[in-house]
Amino acid sequence: MQAIAMDVADHDAVDRAATALHGVAIDILVNNAGTSGPGGGHEAAQFQGLQHMDYAVWRDILEINLLGAFKVATAFRDQLAASQRRLLVNVSSDLGSVAQNGTGNIYAYRTSKAGLNMMTRGMAVEWPHLVVIAVAPGWCRTDLGGIEAEVAPADSVRAQQELFERVGPVDSGRFLDRFGQVVPW
C-alpha cells in the first residue's frame, strides 16, 4: 500500500498523484472531497443563506466538492478502467437532493453536492465501462456533520463498504444512500 498526499483543489497535485500511480489498477476510487466551509456544517447556515452569503466561501466549496472531485475522477479514470472492479464512488449528501430540500439555506454546500450528483450521472453515461455512483453517507459525526449528527463515521463506512460489494453496472448513474436505497434527485 502506498500513501500519496493530494489536495483536490490543487489540480497539479492531483495530476502528480495520478502520474505516480500510472499503471496501477484502482478497483474502487472513493471520491470523498467535502467541505461546508469554515466552522463545519453546523455553522454553514450563518454564511450560506439568502441574507448572508459569503461568495468567497461558496467558490471554495465548489472548488473542493465539485471541481476537485471532477479533477480526481478524470485524472484517475485510466487506473479505474484497468481494474476488475471499476467502481467510482462520488461521496454526496442528502443535502444535494433537490427533491428532499424542505428547508432551504446552506446553498453553497447544497449546490456543490447537487452538481456532484449531476456529474455522477454524466460520467456514468460517458463511461459505460465503469460503475459510477453517488453515495449519501448519512449525517455523520465529523467536523463537517458536527457532534449532534446521527451516524458514527465507522458505522457509515461499514455500511458503505457492504454497499460497494453489492453495486454493479445496473446501479451506474444512481444516487444511493449508504444502505443502497435510491435517494431522489
* 79-110: pLDDT as tens digits: 999 999 999 999 999 999 999 999 999 999 99
In the CATH hierarchy, which fold is given to the domain comprising 23-177?
Answer: Rossmann fold (3.40.50)
* Pairs from 41-48 (Cβ < 8 Å, separation ≥ 24): 41/106, 41/109, 41/144, 41/145, 41/146, 42/146, 42/148, 44/106, 44/108, 44/109, 45/105, 45/106, 48/105, 48/106, 48/107, 48/108, 48/109
Residue 1 predicted with pLDDT over 70: no
Q: Which residue ranges make up each domain of the chain?
A: 23-177
pTM: 0.94
Mean pLDDT of all residues in 61-75: 98
Q: Tell me the CA distances in angstroms from 147 to 41, 42, 121, 140, 154, one per residue in order.
A: 10, 9, 32, 8, 14
- Residue 141's nearest CA partner among 162, 156, 159 is 156
**Which range has the worst mean pLDDT, 10-14, 112-116, 140-144, 168-172?**
140-144
HSE-CB of 164 using CA atoms within 13 angstroms = 20
